[in-house]
Amino acid sequence: MNLAHYIDHTLLKPQATRADLDTLCAEALEWGFAAVCVNPVNVRHCADKLKGSKVRIAAVAGFPLGASLPEIKAAETARAVTDGADEIDMVMNIGALKEGRIDAVREDIRAVVLAAAGKTVKVIIETCLLSESEKISACELSRDAGAHFVKTSTGFSTGGATVEDVALMKKTVGSLLQVKASGGVRSYEEALAMIRAGATRIGTSSGVAILKGEKAGNEY
């Protein structure tokens, strides 16, 4: 197994500079990561740096709270695709889910799926804020809205990915969707545990350290 092919090399810090992005892209090329995951404002720059390579560009939408209006998430998505994004990691409307407004959650996701125009959509459900039944519902709504992945976490809330959550999400979506584990994955062993639980992508800013067998720090 080539672990690098599972990793979305991530840089979502608000203070990220173009020099930081250049390093991110260079590392993604050197190590053969699946994708780089960046904020929408940085998509075009990374697309230029990675042009002609196999490294995909993932852009976040509604990040990190999920509290944007559906039309804003859709517009953000459409622009990211225009700028070169291959994948969209969107944050669902967490408050609506917790209130039981499932139609609103479904339509929020569907708006992004439509705006992505066939590109891969990953739905961040922020597992640390949800009960088990809410996690299941979030996965089912993502499936029904046409998403391709469910993703554990933004890495900006009160907790990140756990093996238990990845296993629950995979059990819920089965073979219909894939699962991305992100937030707090900082070692080779942790990454392998997520994959064994059902994850097919790992979102981390510590990809290089993980592949070197080093224990990374506390950054997303």
> Is 49 part of the annotated catalytic residue set?
no
Structure tokens given for 71: 């039309």
- 10 Å CB burial of residue 18 (0-12, 13-18, 19+) is exposed
Which residues pair with residue 204 across a beta bridge? Answer: 9
> Is 89 part of the annotated catalytic residue set?
yes
Which residues pair with residue 11 across a beta bridge? Answer: 38
Find the catalytic residue in 83, 86, 89, 108.
Answer: 89
Distance in angstroms (rounded) separating the CA atoms of residues 156 and 44 = 24
Residue from 16, 58, 59 nearest 33 by CA: 58
> Is 83 part of the annotated catalytic residue set?
no
Find the catalytic residue in 83, 151, 165, 170.
Answer: 151
Find the catalytic residue in 119, 122, 135, 180.
Answer: 180
Structure tokens given for 139: 């996965």
User: Which residues are tagged catalytic?
Assistant: 89, 151, 180
